[in-house]
Amino acid sequence: LAKTTQPISMDSYEGQEVNITCSHNNIATNDYITWYQQFPSQGPRFIIQGYKTKVTNEVASLFIPADRKSSTLSLPRVSLSDTAVYYCLAPLGNAGNMLTFGGGTRLMVKP
């Protein structure tokens, strides 16, 4: 299981782009890079996943370099409601595998 490392916290202001980088040096061939978001007293919510290169959806973009040892979650033009904890995980690609959450990055968006 790949261990992930990400900053404990980040501050930003409304309207800014936020980039959260995660390192996963021992990522394996079958591991996928996945990001979840968690608001206080709520369950984690899937944001985006990727294997390599760039993935974009309506919420975020995920940049993965060729060596896959790190990834960057990019949140465009954040708002106050994006204040949450963001988790970077690298679970196996096949269904049914447990998720191992670290401490995540606590993003605080200020007005």
Partner 1 sequence: EPEVTQTPSHQVTQMGQEVILRCVPISNHLYFYWYRQILGQKVEFLVSFYNNEISEKSEIFDDQFSVERPDGSNFTLKIRSTKLEDSAMYFCASTAAQGLSSYNEQFFGPGTRLTVL
Q: What residue ranges bind partner 1 (CB under 8 A)?
A: 32, 34, 38, 41-46, 49, 87, 91, 93-104
To the nearest whole angstrom, how small is the minimum distance from the Cβ of residue 21 to partner 1? 20
Residue 81, classified by CB atoms within 10 Å of its CB into exposed (0-12), middle (13-18) or buried (19+), is exposed
To the nearest whole angstrom, how small is the minimum distance from the Cβ of residue 18 to partner 1? 22
Residue 50 or 109 with smaller CB distance to partner 1? 50
Where would I find the beta strands (DSSP E) of 27-95? 33-38, 45-50, 53-56, 61-64, 70-75, 84-89
Residue 16 or 51 with smaller CB distance to partner 1? 51
